[in-house]
Amino acid sequence: MNDVLPMVLTGVCLRIDSIKISEVMCYGTWDKPEAIVGKFGFGAPLGHRPPILQPGVLTLMWGSIVHLLAERLDVELDEVTESYELCPAPETFQIPAGTIAQGTSAGMRFQVSGVLNGRSVIVVEHVTRLRADIGLPHWPTAPFGQAGGYRVEIEGEPPWRMDIANPGATDPTVPGTLATALRAVNAIPAVAEAPAGLHTPFTLPLFTGRGLLGG
């Protein structure tokens, strides 16, 4: 979602003003308190800064994507910045990971942005909420009315928007987690045949689900 697909869309552009890649996901089904409460700080006061939002962590985790896209577009960024906002629970409610009290953190939106000439030109955004109504109407919703999905937006000439979702997924985090692993597994033949060295999806031939159809 973050590398090859956005670059494919840039190949049919006359001018590119900015690129934004978003993951919009509802994590309320997760029975993982160590992640929901610990890593993300949901259920904590809005003034609490959880581990994922400590200075530099977002850039450490997603900044490489911003730099990779900039490299592919032959752009030298001025800087990479990070920002976030939290949304409170409108009332107390229960999720498998525990109780989320009214007024505590129930949604998180963060961005890692590549800046050029004072403008954010490459943005990786994550919108993570515990209920589908958290952060509305100001925060993006997942594509096609699903509980989770991905969006690539290119501002330019012509502008493009690509939405991707997993129709009918009971837990929207499962397909994305599975896909993360399968991206690496399905790349094994291409990596094994590649010369020694550091590789990215752009230094390897296109790897696909060859042999998976009809199995």
Mean of all residue pLDDT scores within the chain? 94
Identify whether 66 is part of a domain. Answer: yes
Helix (H, G, I), strand (E, B) or coil at 187: coil
Alpha-carbon distance of 64 to 177, in angstroms, equals 19
Helix (H) / strand (E) element for 83: namely strand 79-88
Identify whether 156 is part of a domain. Answer: yes
* Residue 211 pLDDT greater than 90, yes or no: no
Question: Which of 28-32, 97-101, 131-135 is least confident?
Answer: 28-32
How far CA 79 is from CA of 20, 66, 97, 117, in Å, comes to 16, 10, 37, 10
Identify whether 207 is part of a domain. Answer: no
Domain count of the chain?
Answer: 1
Identify whether 95 is part of a domain. Answer: yes
* pTM for this model (two decimals): 0.93
Identify whether 49 is part of a domain. Answer: yes
* Residue 112 pLDDT greater than 70, yes or no: yes
* Domain limits for position 72: 4-190
Identify whether 20 is part of a domain. Answer: yes
Q: What is the pLDDT of residues 67-99, one digit of tens each?
A: 999 999 999 999 999 999 999 999 999 999 999
Identify whether 143 is part of a domain. Answer: yes
Identify whether 130 is part of a domain. Answer: yes
Q: Are strands 160-165 and 148-157 parallel, antiparallel or unpaired?
A: antiparallel
